[in-house]
Each structure stands twice: as C-alpha cells, then as structure tokens.
Structure 1
Amino acid sequence: MTRYELQQLVQSQLYTLLTQENLDGAKALLEPVEPVDIAEAIEGLPAQMQAIAFRLLSKEEALQVYEHFRWSTQQALVEKFKRQDVIDIFGKMSPDDRVRLLDELPATVVRRLIEAISPEEREATAMLLGYPPETAGRLMTPRYVALQQTNTVAETLEQIRDFAEVSETIYYLYVIDAERHLVGILSLRELVSARPHETIAEIMKPKVISVVTETDQEEVARIMQRYDFVALPVVDKEQRLVGIITVDDALDVLQAETTEDIYTLGGLQSGKENYFNLNLFTVARRRVVWLLVLLVANTFTGTIMQTQEEVLEAVVALAFFVPLLIDTGGNVGAQSSTVVIRGLSTEEIPQKATLRVIGRELIAGAFLGGMLAAITIAWAYWLQDDLQVAIVVGISLFAISLLASLAGSGLPFLFRWLKRDPALMSAPFITTIVDVLGVSIYFMVARAILQI
C-alpha cells in the first residue's frame, strides 16, 4: 500500500468513526500513525470535525501534528480551541514554527498569545520577529548546542545529554568563543569518536560555512542543498552565532519558492495559501490580472492584421497560415524562456554567461526554424499549390523562430538585470510578444516576396 493510499484509508476510517461518535475507536486508529499522516488525515475532514479529531491526541503528539498542519488549518484550530488549549500548544512549539504561525494570525490574537507564553519563549519569539520576512533570521531557530573550545570531549558529551531534548538538532555542534563568535564546527560522529580527554579545540574544524541573518531564505536553501547540510549556522553582522536553520525548513522553502515560480510561469498570482483551498472568486481574481494584460496585448495582433487588409485581399491564402505561425513562435519562445528561467532559478547559469546562453538559444532557434520551415514549405505548397506563398510561410516561420528564441532567452536576463523576478517573463507573456511581432514579420515578408 502506498503512502497516499494509507493516508486516504486513515482519513476514511477516521471520518466514519467520528460520524458514529466512536471517539475511543478514532483515538485507537490514530495511535500507530505518524504525525505527518495524522495531520493530512485531519485536514481532509470537514471543518467541524477537525477540532474534535485533534483533541483525541495526546499533548506530545498534538504538538507534533500541529506543526505539520498548513497555516490555514493552524489558524482555524486556534480560533476553535479554548484559551488554555492554545497556550499549551503555542508555548511548546519551536520558535521558528511559532513565528510562521504568528505571521498569519490577526494582530489581536498574536498579542494575546505572546503575552501568555513564558518570558524565555517570548524573548526567543520576539528576536525572530525582529528580522525581515523570508530571511535566514526569520527562518532560524535559537535552539542549538554551542560548545566552548576549552571543554573536553567527556564534558561536552555530558552537556549534550542535558540539552539534547531542547535543541533542534545535535548532529552538528558549533563552537563559540567567550563573545559567542562562531569559531568552529564538528559532527556528533567526530565527537563520539574522539578520546575523552581531548579538547574541542583539538578536534573541531575551524572553517565553517554560515549565513548572516539578512540572507534571503532561498539562498539559504540553495547553500544547504549544495553542501548537503543537515543544519546551517546563522550569524549576525559581528559573526556571533544566533541560531541554526535545519534541513526540514530548507525543504519547505524550496517547495514554496518552486511553487511560486511555477505559478508565475503560468501567469498566475501566487500566494501562501493552498491554491485548491481558495474560493472560486479569489481564484478568478488572481488569474484575471494576467489575462487582462494579455488580452490588451493581443489586440495589437488584430490591429496589425486590420492594417494589412490589402495584402490579405490580394492573397487570401496567407490568412490560413497565421495561426500556424503565431502558435509555433509562441511554443518556441515558451521553450526558451522555460529553460532559461529554470537555469536562473537554480543558478545553473553563471552571472557572466548571458550572451553565451542567448547565443546558444539563437542557434537552437535557427536549427528548429530551418527544420520546421522546410516541412512547412512542402506542406503549404501541397495545400495551396502556390510556391510563392509556401516560401513566404517558410521564411516567416524561420524568422519567427529566431525572434522567439531571442525573446524567450533574453527577456528573463533583462528582468534579472532590472532586479525583478525572471519568472515574470512567463510563457503567456512571451507568447503574446512573439504573436504581435510574428504577424508583423509575416506580412513584411509577404509584401517583399509577393510584391504587393
């Protein structure tokens, strides 16, 4: 049974048991299930059942499950819980997860929750909230194990036993000096393999890869992916260790950023909410913006054709191939823009490779245009029995393929240079540009060859 099938089975059985008001059976059903699967099963229930199912969990398991919920579910449950229920869960959450929830709650609720937790947790939460959104400072957790250089291995192992429960991870251990400057790193494996009398300074690695609190979260995720880190230290401007970012948070960032890029490529306004949980009015409002922009842009295509009435009246057959040309050009441009935008997003394309990449796409466009033009000339001649019209279509298709490759590869670089998201040069937008310019090229070629 696949994980998806298991989750669907648990959700179905849970719904049945809750409908029958068999709370003991529902509780027994959830006991052997992993927290992330419980979270998905509860989210699949009707809204009125979610709070009931969640209250069946033990306090320890409830906290783990709650951190796996989407923020919208977390927010809905906060509003349904009794005050003490909320405080118990909220106070035990890791600071970084707590901050992400606070970002989405109303200000009055945020104030009430922060006032109710312990001074220590309040201070940790306030520190993270002080950093800009979508930065390493907002993503990190202040729960980590920091070691002194002068400690022995035996002393350090005792220290880890004391702090293992409250630390986010103990697989990487960070070494600091008296001013909390980050001076070294070692793994738990290196620590347990060392002799008890050795000092941390003797076994640590002084070279540490870290990020500052203002580093963009997407850059943080890329660094962790590049070096296969389980955790990454975060330092302030004075190189003092202030927190760590764990791999689970980095994966969430990569998923969110990839989702945003895909939505943008499709000409959609992205948001933090799950797209399929939004009401239809919100869906339409977000999608209509780009469509209106493209609608206005596409009117230029009709205007150009209107100005070329004499050409179309002289050779009616030219009108038959307009859809073929603009669709082909749009597809070529979409292919070029997709590979370039993805390359920029994953940093596969170096900063200084702009001209090389555009040149490569132009050559590819020439090859594609040449092959498609040869096929189209033969096909157009067979359809119309007019060699001149066939040549016009073939030459136009070749030129449009070059134009599409140039637009698809060049415009994302232009947007990066303007400090904008290259994904804004999405396939629909580039297709519209190529449509307008492609029709102009088509009629210019027709006038030149057919002498109209």
Structure 2
Amino acid sequence: MQELNIELFRNLIKTKKITELREIFEEYNSVDIADNINELNEDELLFLFKVIPSYNSAEVFTYLDQNAKEKLINLFSNQDIQKVLEEIYTDDIVDFIEDLPTNLIRKVLRSINKETRNDVNKILNYPEDSIGSIMNIGYVELEEDDTCKEALAKIREQGDKAESISYAYIVDKKRTLNGYISLKNIIMSNEKEVIGDLMEKDIISVMYEDDKEKASLIFKKYDMSVLPVVNKENKLIGVITADDILDVVTEEATEDIQIMSGSSPLDGMYMDSSVFSLFKKRFFWLLILMISAVFTGMIISKSESILINIPALAIFMPMLNGTAGNAGNQTTGIVTRGVSIETISTKDWGRVVWKEIRVALLLGIGMSICAYGWMWIEKWLGIIDVTDTSLFFVVSLSMFISIVIAKVIGASLPILAKLCKLDPAVMAGPFVTTLVDALTVALYYGLAALLLI
C-alpha cells in the first residue's frame, strides 16, 4: 500500500483519477485519510467529496478538523449535506454543528430529514456539560417476552441506526428500562429461550442531566463499553459509548490543564483559536494573579528596613520562592487530579494532609541540607559575598518551613474547592504559587528579623 500524503491526493484530484481516489477511501483507515486531506483547498475538498460515495466519505467527514468541515458545509448543496449526514450517527452530527456559525447550523438543519432534525434539536437543547448533550439516541431495544430468535431479528432491523449492538436494552410498553442483555448471550443461547429469563436486571445507568464527567467515572469503575441514559421516570432515551467518553476524558483533562496554568478553557483547538480569543481567555486570570501578587510586594515593602540591614537576603529570595512554589504545585497537581477522578474525596482531607506533611518533612530536610551546602559552595567559589554565614541557616530553615506550608496548602485548596462546589483546577497552579510566594517572603523576613537583627 502506498503512503498517504496531501500531495498524493492533490495529484489524483488534479488528474481526476476518480477510481484511484475511491480505492483509497475503500482500503485506508478513515482517520488517516482525514489527517491527510484537512489542508486541501476548498475546490479540492469539494471535488473529493463529490466523487466519493457517501457511505465511504461520511466516516472520513467525522474525523476532519472543524475548519475543513465548515468549508465543506459552506460549499455543499442541501442534497450533498443530506447524503453525507444520513450516514453519520446523531451524536457525531451534534458534535460538529454546535461549533458552526449560526447560518451554517440553519443550513445543516434544513438539509437533514425531519426525524434526524428533531433528534439533533433534542440533543442540542440539553445543557452543554450534561450527559444528554453527548448521548446517542440510536440503540437496540427488546421486550421481555421476545425469544432469542426474535431478538436477533430486531437487532438486524435496528442495528443500522445503532452506534453499538454489543448490548440490547429491555423496555416495557412505557419504555421503562428493565434490563439489558449482551449480543453474545443472545447468540450463545437457544433461539427459543425468552429474553426476560436471560436478561441482567442489575442495571447501571445515568441520568440525562448528570454531568459528563460522572459518566466517565462510571465507565472507568465498571469497565463498561456502553452505558444507557434514562430520564427521571427511568425511561430509556439514549446510550453513551466508550468513544464518546474518551472525548469527554480528553476534554476534561485539557480544561483542567488550561485552568491550572491560569487560563480559561479554550472553546476549540489551540491552532484554530484567534489571537484575540486567546487574549480574552488569559487577560482576566493574569489580572487577578497580578493583583494578588501585590500582597507579596506589600510584605517586601513593610520589611524594607530588614533588607537595608541585611541586603544579602535578596540573593536567596528567588531560590526560596521557586522551591516552595514548585513543592506546592507538585502536591496540587496530584490532589487536583485525584479529586477530579474521585479517587480522593473531601472526607480524605485529613489523610491527604497528614501524608503530605510527612512527605514535606523529608523533602524539607533534604532540600534544606542541599541548599545549605550549595550556599557554602557559592561562597567558597566567590559567587556570593556574604560575611555573616548565619544567614545560610535562616535560608535553610525558611526553606524547610515553607516546603511544609506549601505542601499543606497544595493538598488543601483542591479539596476545599470541591467542598465549595468549585472546579478543583481553579485552586491549582498560579493561585497556589502566588499564595505560597507571599507566605514564604513573610516567613523569610520574619525569621531574619528574629534571628539576625
């Protein structure tokens, strides 16, 4: 098989080798094809999707970048859109149209059939972070009195619209979810056996209004591949599959990293974000952190007399602040992640803090000894000019205490955020560093005033 690249597609499009293009769409993975055609220009993309049958091009379309999808929707006729989208699952349609400009959303909704349009509108009306917004309304449903033979016939009939047929769900006349059964169990059973006798009644499901992150935790806990979604009356309204949850996990992790770095989460991919949108996402956070850092400046200003008496104090301030801040961030990152995936609960606060205090004591001793030795080396090499070497003891003691304080703060803030129903990531990163900086400076100057003056 030849290696795919954008030049190959451009040459085949330019020479109009339609048969070879169709063979590529038949033989190669849809993800690989999408990766190599994202950067084609509008005319090339349109030609490609015009000559490739929709049953082959539809899956490739779902893996294109948002920009490429937007180009195509803009160029497609209503009939073109209908041909491609009728081969795509409803949740995948929702995924890409919710990021389209309003005029293109209207164009898509006008182009698809009434049934799909109603389904798409229904999902779009769910809150953005809810399970309902990512669920698929295509699934296989059976009745308790179906035989295995009848069940297989229903699976064949409904399977085309279902994103997954590994499990079928048993509902009554009112669509209340009563159980589920695996396709394997149906196939391996006698065709005359009744589904009601074979189904599992211990159902794990989620509510449509629950947070998406809850679904990801359930998938992980129970090692599931498909999860039924119900409403308040326990009526089956959709399913979530593992690939939907993989997107959620990636999105949540990305948001946490962005928040921990002192930025609001981006609305899309970084490369698709404008300079002004990046400015808006970052300015507010930087402003807050700048204002909060004023407290550190106030502490230094109030301690000016100490600094005049012992100018050498300033030499070691960056080392102290950097070490303490990094120590706090180490803990914050781990605890924030633990709280996010619910391996750490608010009830664990005491255990977490006690564990981090013990870690901090060991780190504090180790780092203080290293810092003390390094300061003597710098003095011996003539890098620093310090006459009163008792300052080295103050620096080492400050480092020891500040590491302990930083670890306690780093362990406590994410749990406190969870307790206040805030995103734990908000309390991470820059906020911890800013708070620890202020406390470290206050501690450092306080010990210097107490022990050296």
* Contact map agreement 1:72 1:273 (CA 8 A) in 2: no
TM value normalised by structure 1: 0.92
Answer yes or no: is 1:278 the counterpart of 2:278. no
* Contact map agreement 2:78 2:110 (CA 8 A) in 1: no
Distance in 1 (alpha carbons) for counterparts of 2:40 and 2:342: 41
Deviation string 1:334-362 (CA, Å, 9 cap, x unpaired) is 10101100111121113310121122112
Distance in 2 (alpha carbons) for counterparts of 1:304 and 1:48: 63
Deviation string 1:292-336 (CA, Å, 9 cap, x unpaired) is 332333343333223322212222221111111001011101101
Distance in 1 (alpha carbons) for counterparts of 2:197 and 2:24: 51
Residue 255 of structure 2 corresponds to which residue in structure 1?
260
**For residues 282 and 143 of structure 1, do their structure 2 counterparts lie closer, same or farther at Cα, with a shift above 3 Å needed?**
same
Residue 188 of structure 1 corresponds to which residue in structure 2?
183
Q: Which moved more, 1:170-179 or 1:19-28?
A: 19-28
- Alignment match of 1:426 (pick from 422, 425, 428): 428
Q: How far is the alpha carbon of 1:450 from its aligned partner?
A: 0.9
Residue 382 of structure 2 corresponds to which residue in structure 1?
none
Answer yes or no: is 1:449 the counterpart of 2:451. yes
Deviation string 1:262-298 (CA, Å, 9 cap, x unpaired) is 1112222212311123233433443333333323333
Residue 402 of structure 1 corresponds to which residue in structure 2?
404
Q: Which moved more, 1:207-216 or 1:107-116?
A: 107-116
Q: What is the root-mean-square deviation in Å for CA atoms of aligned residues? A: 2.3
* Contact map agreement 1:362 1:405 (CA 8 A) in 2: yes
Distance in 1 (alpha carbons) for counterparts of 2:51 and 2:291: 55
- Alignment match of 1:416 (pick from 407, 415, 418): 418
Give secondary structure in 1 for the equivalent of 2:5: helix
Amino acid at match of 1:10: N
Unaligned ranges ≥5, structure 2: 380-385
- Alignment match of 1:51 (pick from 46, 49, 54): 46
Residue 388 of structure 1 corresponds to which residue in structure 2?
390
Amino acid at match of 1:170: I
Distance in 2 (alpha carbons) for counterparts of 1:91 and 1:295: 52
Answer yes or no: is 1:64 the counterpart of 2:66. no
**For residues 334 and 46 of structure 1, do their structure 2 counterparts lie closer, same or farther at Cα, with a shift above 3 Å needed?**
farther
* Contact map agreement 1:380 1:393 (CA 8 A) in 2: no
TM value normalised by structure 2: 0.92
| Matched ranges for 1:12-51 at <5 A | 12-18=7-13, 26-46=21-41, 49-51=44-46
**For residues 12 and 269 of structure 1, do their structure 2 counterparts lie closer, same or farther at Cα, with a shift above 3 Å needed?**
farther
Unaligned ranges ≥5, structure 1: none
Residue 200 of structure 2 corresponds to which residue in structure 1?
205
* Contact map agreement 1:381 1:389 (CA 8 A) in 2: no
Amino acid at match of 1:411: L
**Number of matched pairs:** 446
Distance in 1 (alpha carbons) for counterparts of 2:102 and 2:40: 28
Q: Percent identity over the alignment?
A: 32
Residue 139 of structure 1 corresponds to which residue in structure 2?
134
Q: How far is the alpha carbon of 1:33 from its aligned partner?
A: 1.5
Deviation string 1:146-196 (CA, Å, 9 cap, x unpaired) is 111111111111222222222221110111122211111111111111111
- Alignment match of 1:355 (pick from 350, 356, 365): 350
* Contact map agreement 2:82 2:113 (CA 8 A) in 1: no
Distance in 2 (alpha carbons) for counterparts of 1:229 and 1:157: 22
Amino acid at match of 2:230: V
Distance in 2 (alpha carbons) for counterparts of 1:54 and 1:449: 77
**For residues 307 and 430 of structure 1, do their structure 2 counterparts lie closer, same or farther at Cα, with a shift above 3 Å needed?**
same
